[in-house]
Structures are given as C-alpha cells and as structure tokens.
Structure 1
Amino acid sequence: MLKRLSPWLLALALPVGALFTTPAKAANFVSLTYGPFQRSFPMSELEEFVSTQEATGELRALMRFVPKDDQAKLLEFLGMRLPFNVVQTDKILASPIGKDLLKQFSQVTIRRDKAGEVALRGAMLTAAASPEGLSMMSFLKNYPAETINLDLRKLNQMLKKQDGIMSMLGKLRP
C-alpha cells in the first residue's frame, strides 16, 4: 500500500514544500576590501553607473580615486557580455579551465562559509539563464548572498599573474 501512496505523497509534498521555502538571496550590495579598509555600496549604484556612465552615492566617493582610463576599462568590463547560454556555461565550468577559473575567483570572494566555488558556479549559471544573458553585471546581481564581498588585493594579484583570468577567458569558446 505504501508503494501505491508514495507517488501521490511526493506529488502533494512538492507544491507544499515550494510554498514554505524561501527564495535564494541575490546580491543587493557590493563590498570592496583592501587590507583593513572596506567600503560597500548598493548594487543599484553599480547598475546606474553602467547604464549612465555616472557614479552616484557611495560609488561616486570611491570612483574619485580611480583614474578616468581605469573607469572606462571598468565600464567596458562590467558591460561585457559573454556569448554562452546556460548549457554552454555549465560545460565550461565543468572543464579543467572552468574549474581553475572558479578556484581562482573563489580566492577573491570573501565568505564565512567554504561555499565560494559553489556560489560562483550558481551565480554564473543563473546569470547565463537570465533574460539579459551572461555578463559581469548579471553575475554580480545573481550572486547568492545579500552582499558580494570582493578582496581587491587578491583580485589584483590574480589579474597580474602570467596565466591570469583574461588569458583563461580568451581560451573559452562557445
């Protein structure tokens, strides 16, 4: 009798479970750490910066310290779209290059738990499946935490490496 009831119980349990689960968080804030210094700003300010090329609020205060050339590079980087759908992104992240990318990027994100690579993978897959597609902004907006914390020293070190992130990205093809 239990065998006959179990499909029905499962069919009833799934919708009820969906009603009581909380949605996954998405990043609403960006926090930048450089040694002992930390500054945070709302994701909406970063979105506005990308769309209008004008920084506002806390982001404006931070951008005063960034040379104009670097601001232009940042805008280009944030606006860059990658031509990968969710299936292609999943395959790339499962490849040796993708696993290495996740490992390197997880060193840049600051988390209390040890889920850095899993969080990055989830954000990239969710971004790739989003209507706007895979971009740095969609990745940041889909990061599964209220705040995405980035260690700028580690990011700078990673980007300066001989076999850094940009050379890895250049090897990726859809």
Structure 2
Amino acid sequence: MHSGLGLLPSLAAEKVTVRYGLFERSIPVADIRSYSETQKASSDLKSFLDYLSTEEKQKFQETLQVKMSLDIVALDKLINTGVGKQILSFASTAIARRDQASIQALRSAIIIGAKSPEGLGVVSFLEAYPSNQLVVDVSKISKLVGLANSSSSAADVPPKDNVSSSPLGKIALQYQILAAQDKQFSGCLFGDSVSAELGNTLGSGTFNFGLNGLSTISLQHLRQL
C-alpha cells in the first residue's frame, strides 16, 4: 500500500496540527501517546487542552483509550464498501495535504494502525499516518461525528435506532457482518456500548457483537441477523 502511494514505509506522523477557525495548535504525536498512558500533558498539549471544557477533556482522554482489535481482512473489505468509501471521502476533506492522496493516506493509516499490537486507536492511527505532519480541521471532523450522533436525546422524543440512522453505526454493523461471515463461533455476545468495552477478550472461538456507542434499541436489528 505504501509503495502504491510512493511513500516511504518509515514515514509517519510526528506532529498533529489542529485547526478550528482561526485557532491552530501543533502537538507532537509522542506527547499524545504519553498523555494517553500517563494522563500528564506536555506544555504543547496543555496549551490545546486549556481550550477544552472539563467534559471535553474527559471525552478526549476516553477516546485515546479506545483500542480496537480488528480482523484485518474484514477491515480491508469494509473500507472498500460503498459506505466505507463515503466515510473516507468525507474524512479526507478535513485533512490538509499538498498532494491528492488524502483518501489513500487515511486507508493506509487505518490498516497499518490496526496491525499494531495494541490495535486500532487514535495513537496507532497517527503513528501509522504516512506523512510527518497531519493537519486536521476540527470543524469538519465535528460534522462527521455529528452524523453519528444525529438522533435526538430530548426526553420527549422516542429513541432512534442508531444502526439505521448513523453512517458510523452502519459501518460498525457492516464490519461485524464481514468479520463473522462464513465463520463458526462457540459463543457470541450481543450487547450495546457496555458489552462492546469487553472487545475481543472473551477467548478464541467467541465473537463480541456489542456495538460501541450505539443504543440498546439496535439489538433488535442484531437479533434479526
């Protein structure tokens, strides 16, 4: 994949530049890894965190802890599906590059990051990104995240099925279909985000169908599968 992009295998992001309107901060990737492991922020990272609310800081730390052990073959198939290509295309608009390889670079970082011993997460993705700097427009990324949380949380509004209403919900479910296709398991776990936190810790021969971040109403669709 790297050779197809004309990129050196050793090339990886050393710094992340975050843009939000006129705001811009550059943070070493090594500082982000250190923060994820120790919760101690470097001066560069602290200057960024100071702009976040207490809740946003907590969500940022929680996001850094998400590390997914994925089936590489299923993941490769997933990002080549229609919905996978749409997500990559949308996400690529938030990445500033001088060339036209944003989508290919994202694809490469996802696959190589997923092959890391810790699995795919924010840090492993950044460390696999084929450029010495990753420039991200947060406002555009927020739109993608907003699509994933498009269902209303108002008390008087009935809960929606996030699998059918969210692009990220659809892609999570599609991955599970691809990863479980033509395979037999001795045990399966069906659940919501709480169950999803267990990941692939149930032992060999088992499969966790818990969907992280999705409402329990989605279980109705999983049972139909």
Both proteins in one fold, TM over 0.5 = yes
Q: Who is 1:6 aligned against? A: none
Find the residue that maps to 2:136 and give its secondary structure.
Answer: strand
Alignment of 1:130-141 (within 5 A): 130-141=116-127
Distance 1:50 1:64 in 2: 17
Q: Who is 1:88 aligned against? A: 74
Distance 2:132 2:108 in 1: 14
Alignment of 1:19-30 (within 5 A): 22-30=8-16
Offset at residue 165 of structure 1 (A): 5.7
Match of 1:100 among 79, 83, 86: 86
Q: Who is 2:216 aligned against? A: none
1:55 aligns with 2:57: no
1:67 aligns with 2:53: yes
Offset at residue 170 of structure 1 (A): 3.9
Distance 1:28 1:165 in 2: 30
Mean alpha-carbon deviation: is it higher for 103-112 or for 21-30?
21-30
Distance 1:75 1:168 in 2: 25
TM-score scaled by structure 2? 0.63
- Paired AA for residue 137 in structure 1: V
Match of 2:24 among 38, 62, 70: 38
Distance 1:158 1:141 in 2: 22
- Paired AA for residue 141 in structure 1: E
CA RMSD of aligned residues (A): 1.9
Offset at residue 55 of structure 1 (A): 1.4
Q: Who is 2:169 aligned against? A: 167
Distance 2:75 2:81 in 1: 10
Question: Unaligned regions of 5+ residues in structure 1, if any?
Answer: 1-20
Alignment of 1:142-157 (within 5 A): 142-157=128-143
C-alpha offsets along residues 113-169 of structure 1, whole Å, 9 cap, x if unaligned? Answer: 111110000001111122222112111111000011100111122222336664345
Find the residue that maps to 1:83 and give its secondary structure.
Answer: coil
Deviant stretches of 4+, over 4 Å: 163-166
Question: Unaligned regions of 5+ residues in structure 2, if any?
Answer: 1-6, 151-164, 180-225
Query: Rg larger in 1 or in 2?
Result: 1
Kept after mapping to 1: 8 A contact 2:66/2:121: yes
Mean alpha-carbon deviation: is it higher for 141-150 or for 82-91?
82-91
Offset at residue 105 of structure 1 (A): 1.1
Kept after mapping to 1: 8 A contact 2:78/2:171: no
Find the residue that maps to 1:94 and give its secondary structure.
Answer: coil
Kept after mapping to 2: 8 A contact 1:45/1:57: no
Find the residue that maps to 1:137 and give its secondary structure.
Answer: helix
Summarize the Cα distance change of 1:28–1:71 in structure 2 as closer, same or farther, 3 Å threshold: same
Count of equivalent residues: 154
Distance 2:90 2:72 in 1: 21
